[in-house]
Chain A
Amino acid sequence: MSRVVSLISEIIFGVGLAVSQMIDPAKVLGFLNIFGNWDPSLAFVMIGALIISSPFFHLFKNNKKPVFADSFSYFNNKELNKELIIGSSLFGTGWGLAGLCPGPAIASLALLNTSSLIFVITMFIGFYASNIFLSR
């Protein structure tokens, strides 16, 4: 059951990225271009997503496990450490360079373009390279 739910929820996420155009790097770069020709529309996508998801996170936060999975997969780390700042800064640099972040990048593979594929492959290399670094 958790597999079906996993698949369906990601399809919904993918549809959302397409409807909201967050799947389009040009749209993301327009959103980040606040000192130029700023396109603020993606702020509504994030705020909209928070308005829907946040009440549910709080409604179920005292449950031992999610309804359709064995455990919650988020961290309860509360420490503001240098990894958080360094990691977010690296992420922000890559996001600002390409206009792609993990969700939309993977969703855009549906459009069969080489650029998305190159980004996703190097992103996964980044994931695994950091695993080696982090496990030391």
Chain B
Amino acid sequence: MDNFLFLIGLIIGPIVYKLITQNEINISISNSFILLAIAGLLVGVGTRISGGCTSGHGISGIGRFSLRSIVATITFMIIGILTVLIKNII
């Protein structure tokens, strides 16, 4: 139940922002649905196997000075940068 509220809160957040500031939130996703599905799977599996994501390792983990999280964050930053580089070349 708490986890469900967690997800709902996360979705309500941007709506609250829109209502208060009257700003539109512009996002642009240029990838094909196939690529998004592959990326979604990779992010899902990777988060679960490594035990964290940008917030889990990058903020909570590094915030607690966890060596595991520092290593994980450096790894996914480097791989993320290389992925963008390779994608731009192709």
Contact = CB atoms under 8 A, between A and B. Distances in A.
- By secondary structure, the A interface counts as helix
B36 A10 contact: no
Contact of A58 (B5, B64, B72, B85): B64
B75 A89 contact: yes
A84 B39 contact: no
A25 B6 CA distance: 22
Contacts of B79: 88-89, 91-93, 95-96
Contacts of A131: 48
A41 interface: no
B14 A96 contact: no
Given A91-B76, A106-B11, A121-B40, A11 B16 contact: yes
Given A84-B50, A126-B41, A134-B49, A7 B8 contact: yes
Interface in B1-51: 1-2, 5-18, 25-31, 33, 35-51
Interface residues of B, number: 73
Contacts of A119: 36-37, 39-40, 43
B54 A80 contact: no
Contacts of B42: 90-91, 93-94, 97, 126
Q: Which of B12, B57, B63, B71 has the most CB of A within 10 A?
A: B63
Given A78-B68, A92-B76, 4 more contacts: A79-B68, A91-B47, A107-B10, A125-B44
Interface of B: 1-2, 5-18, 25-31, 33, 35-51, 53-68, 71-73, 75-85, 87-88
21 contacts: A10-B13, A11-B9, A15-B14, A15-B16, A18-B18, A23-B25, A36-B88, A50-B62, A80-B68, A87-B45, A88-B73, A89-B46, A93-B79, A94-B43, A96-B81, A102-B55, A108-B14, A110-B12, A113-B27, A115-B33, A133-B49
